[in-house]
Structure formats: structure tokens, C-alpha cells
Amino acid sequence: MARFDKTAVFSKMQATGLVPVFYHPDAQVACRVVKACYDGGVRAFELTNRGDFAHEVFAQVMRFAATECPELALGVGTVVDPATAALYIQQGACFVVGPLFNPEVAKVCNRRLIPYSPGCATATEVGMAQEMGCDLTKIFPGDVYGPRLVQDIMAPMPWSRLMVTGGVDLTQESLASWMQAGAFCVGMGSKLFPASLIQAADWEGISRRCREALDHLAQARRQ
């Protein structure tokens, strides 16, 4: 069962504005990265469903986070079908994210009151997802459409909560452009976790990058 309900999950995402997106086949590495992000101020983290036995990695990270990162809402990403969503919900996922919108996934998540954030690229897709109970939709891939898409969706649909993933850089300019366009939060993957830091086991370096991103986001929101 999820450790945090919808309200708490959205509150954590909105408070920081950042949802790191990561996966590693070695559960110990994944745990260290999650802890580094938590130490850097992150309170919502997306561990993606990629590779064989990814659900086993998720289960180990979930148990680790329950004691080492008590305020972290751990969710799962890259979910495209209801069976996979159900599997991770059973393991305690606090939210489910996908690269596309599958109404059947929405039904599974809604039954357990778990936030489902599907990938959308048009106002129509966002609207359809909202009709299926998706309070937070993901604009993906962000680098293809740019901040203008967020701005243009928010204009006629200001009630929308949009999380942008893909094309979000660790710079003040990039993060400010998404926030000022109206994004609810952003998801960051490889730009937040350079391969060199992972290979060097530089966990403090990852914490610093998270703090940097959070500082940029806070500054952008003040502008």
C-alpha cells in the first residue's frame, strides 16, 4: 500500500517542483542515488520500469526508502499497461507515470486512489486524461514541444497540472522557462545524473546537483 495519498504526493511535487527520473539494474546503486537525491532536498522520486527484473529493484528501493528516506514519495515510471501498474501498486508505488495515456491504467490506479500521470502531447490528450481522473498529466517529450506548448495548454485550461519530462536542463534558463510557462513540476533524468557521477559513486555530487536544481526552481517561481 502506498505510504502517501494523492494529496501528499502532489504537495511534495509542488513544494519542490522536481521529480528525479532514474533506473539502474543494481538495486544498491539505485538506493544510493535515491538517498543522495533525498539528502539534496528531493521528496518525490520516479524509478522507471526498465529492463528485466526492474520490479525487483523497485521492491528493494522501496524497502530502503521506507527507513532511510521517510518523507519520500517513491513512484514508478515507464508504465504502459494495467498489469504493470497493478504490480507496482502492490509493491507500494505512490504514483504511476507513463510515456503515453492508457485509459486501462487509469482505471487500475483510480481503484486504489494512486495518482496516474500519463504522457500527453496535445490539449485533447490532456483533456481526455483529466476525464479519466488524471490530476497530473505529463508533457512528453518536452524537448520536442518546448515551453510554448505548456503555455498554450494552460491558457484555455488553467486548472491543469502539467509535469514536463524530457528536455529539461539543469540551468536557470531552462528551469525558469518551464516554470514561467505554467508547469506544475519537472522531471529530470540524465541531466541530473551524469554517467560519470554514477560510475565514480559520487553521491554527494548528485546531492549538490539536486540542491542546484531546487534553487533554480525556487528562484524561477519567485520571478
For residue range 107-118, list pLDDT tens digits in order: 999 999 999 999
pLDDT category, 189, cuts 50, 70, 90? very high
Q: Assess whether pLDDT exceeds 90 at residue 167.
A: no
Q: What angle do CA 201, 23, 49 make, to 5 degrees?
A: 165
Amino acid 137: pLDDT = 98
Tally the domains of the chain.
1
Amino acid 203: pLDDT = 98
Residue 96, domain member (yes or no): yes
Sheet with 137-139, strands from edge to edge, namely: 116-117, 96-97, 73-77, 44-48, 18-22, 185-188, 162-165, 137-139, 119-120
Amino acid 217: pLDDT = 97
Contact yes or no for 154/126 (Cβ under 8 A): no
Q: Which of 4, 13, 3, 2 is nearest to 117 (CA)?
A: 13
Contact yes or no for 49/172 (Cβ under 8 A): no
Residue 184, domain member (yes or no): yes
pLDDT category, 20, cuts 50, 70, 90? very high
Report which secondary-structure segment, H or E, holds 47: strand 44-48
Residue 177, domain member (yes or no): yes
pTM over cut 0.75: yes
Averaged pLDDT for residues 41-54: 96
**123 vs 150: CA distance, rounded Å:** 9
Amino acid 21: pLDDT = 98
pLDDT category, 134, cuts 50, 70, 90? very high
Amino acid 223: pLDDT = 82
Contact yes or no for 187/19 (Cβ under 8 A): yes
The CA dihedral of 139, 175, 201, 195, to the nearest 10 degrees, is 60
Averaged pLDDT for residues 44-55: 96
Mean pLDDT value across the chain: 97
Residue 221, domain member (yes or no): no
Amino acid 29: pLDDT = 98
Residue 40's domain spans which residues?
A: 6-216
Residue 63: give its domain's CATH number. 3.20.20.70
CA 42 to chain centroid, in Å, comes to: 11
Amino acid 2: pLDDT = 95
Contact yes or no for 206/192 (Cβ under 8 A): yes
Report which secondary-structure segment, H or E, holds 209: helix 203-222
Between the alpha carbon of residue 23 and those of residues 30, 31, 35, 52, 63, the distances in Å are 7, 10, 14, 12, 16
Q: Assess whether pLDDT exceeds 90 at residue 85.
A: yes
Averaged pLDDT for residues 211-223: 95
165 three-class SS: strand
Residue 78, domain member (yes or no): yes
Amino acid 204: pLDDT = 97
Residue 108, domain member (yes or no): yes
Residue 128, domain member (yes or no): yes
Residue 15, domain member (yes or no): yes
**59 vs 61: CA distance, rounded Å:** 6
Q: Assess whether pLDDT exceeds 90 at residue 127.
A: yes
Averaged pLDDT for residues 156-171: 96
Kindly state the percentage of the chain with pLDDT values over 90.
97
